[in-house]
């Protein structure tokens, strides 16, 4: 299930108010102004940048040089420049280093309902924070069904139909020292071309549902080290009823991949049957994946040994 990504001026202000020392001084009626993913791709502007009246950024940072530039214009040019700035409907204007906002800039912000903020931070600090925060907030995002965990230091998503024992497997892995990120509905954000960051919805934080027991608070039961705030998704372990499983390659196992947003994530399918220790199998699958990512392939090693032995036997 894909989630639309958007952020309002009010949400952005509240999320960064304390970190950046923001004060809202004009344009308060523009608090519902919205920035959606893809808005900045329609033209050349960036999500955040220094004041630009040609290709306006979505968050316009107004530093000392930009204010000095406006001061150097005659009255008509200054009015035209301010009109052009607010007519481009930026999400917000941000003045740096606690500089006083010119009266005509305040008036333009109030008349156009353009949020005008002031921060005591320098321009390059604001630029770094806004670019990172907006890029992450507007990144492609999807919610998947399963249990997301850290197993042997990599992010592993446990999937499968209801009733197969995903939560029981997760609980066993937690008791073996691994960590829970999210149960039932982990959210994945593509924060880079080759990276998916998985997190837990606030409502489900630290919780795991186990049939027959109910909701468990993993942090309270096992301590802070049993949970993790986020992790990059590297592997999917899919549980499947053994009677539904196809014939498996005895050398390589049931390996494949699953498309998540723009990435193909490696997936291994584990048949579920009575007497199989899924926790041990899941740990082994993760260890094998880690070794393979480092260039070691046990199946290929076996094939190479067999070929070498056959060549020896064929020699006179």
Residues 93 and 175 in one domain: no
Query: Is 78 one of the catalytic residues?
Result: no
The alpha helices in 163-236, defined as continuous H runs, are: 166-175, 218-222
Q: Give the pLDDT of residue 122.
A: 93
Residue of 33, 40, 58, 166 marked catalytic: 166
Q: Give the pLDDT of residue 26.
A: 93
Residues 50 and 150 in one domain: no
Q: Give the pLDDT of residue 247.
A: 66
Residue of 184, 197, 206, 231 marked catalytic: 184
- Asked whether the whole model's pTM tops 0.85, one would answer no
Alpha-carbon 179 to chain mean position: 19
Domain end residue (candidates: 89, 111, 137): 137
Report the number of distinct structural domains present in the chain: 2
Nearest alpha-carbon partner for 98 in 71, 63, 133:
63
Q: Give the pLDDT of residue 29.
A: 93
Query: Is 166 one of the catalytic residues?
Result: yes
Backbone angles phi, psi at 100, to 5 degrees: -70, 135
Residues of the chain with pLDDT under 70: 1-4, 38-45, 244-253, 316
Query: Is 33 one of the catalytic residues?
Result: no
Is 41 within a domain? yes
- pLDDT tens readout for residues 46-105: 788 888 877 788 999 999 999 998 899 898 999 999 999 999 889 999 999 999 999 999
Domain end residue (candidates: 110, 137, 164): 137
Q: Give the pLDDT of residue 127.
A: 92
Residue of 74, 76, 103, 250 marked catalytic: 250
Nearest alpha-carbon partner for 255 in 281, 236, 274, 279:
236
Domain that holds residue 291: 145-302
Label residue 19 exposed, middle or buried (CB < 10 Å: 0-12, 13-18, 19+).
exposed
Residues 111 and 199 in one domain: no
Q: Give the pLDDT of residue 248.
A: 65
Q: Give the pLDDT of residue 98.
A: 92
Q: Give the pLDDT of residue 267.
A: 95
Q: What tokens were used for 55?
A: 């290709």
Residues 187 and 245 in one domain: yes
Residues 178 and 297 in one domain: yes
Residue of 145, 152, 219, 258 marked catalytic: 145
Query: Is 184 one of the catalytic residues?
Result: yes
CATH of the domain at 99: 3.40.1390.20
Q: Give the pLDDT of residue 41.
A: 47
Alpha-carbon 217 to chain mean position: 24
């Amino acid at each position: 299930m894909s989630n639309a990504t958007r952020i309002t001026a009010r949400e952005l202000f509240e999320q960064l108010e304390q970190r950046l020392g923001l004060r809202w001084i004009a344009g308060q009626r523009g608090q519902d102004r919205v920035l959606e993913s893809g808005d900045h791709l329609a033209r050349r502007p960036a999500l955040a940048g220094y004041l630009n009246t040609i290709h306006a950024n979505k968050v316009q940072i107004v530093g000392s040089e930009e204010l000095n530039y406006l001061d150097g214009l005659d009255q008509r040019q200054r009015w035209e420049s301010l009109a052009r700035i607010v007519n481009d409907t930026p999400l917000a204007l941000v003045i740096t280093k606690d500089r006083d906002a010119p009266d005509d800039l305040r008036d333009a912000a109030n008349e156009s309902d353009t949020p005008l903020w002031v921060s005591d931070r320098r321009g390059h600090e604001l630029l770094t924070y806004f670019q990172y925060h907006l890029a992450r907030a507007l990144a492609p995002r999807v919610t998947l069904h399963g249990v997301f965990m850290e197993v042997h230091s990599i992010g592993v998503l446990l999937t499968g139909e209801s009733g197969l024992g995903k939560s029981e497997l997760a609980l066993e892995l937690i008791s073996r020292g691994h960590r829970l990120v999210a149960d039932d509905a982990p959210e994945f954000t593509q924060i880079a071309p080759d990276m998916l960051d998985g997190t837990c919805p606030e409502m489900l934080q630290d919780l795991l549902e186990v049939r027959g027991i109910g909701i468990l608070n993993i942090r309270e039961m096992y301590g802070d080290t049993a949970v993790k705030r986020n992790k990059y998704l590297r592997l999917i372990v899919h549980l499947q009823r053994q009677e539904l499983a196809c014939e498996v390659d005895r050398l390589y196992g049931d390996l494949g991949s699953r498309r998540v947003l723009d990435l193909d994530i490696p997936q291994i399918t584990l048949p579920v049957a009575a007497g199989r220790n899924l926790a041990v199998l899941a740990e082994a699958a993760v260890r094998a994946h880690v070794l393979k990512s480092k260039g070691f392939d046990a199946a290929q090693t076996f094939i190479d040994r067999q070929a070498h032995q056959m060549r020896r036997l064929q020699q006179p």
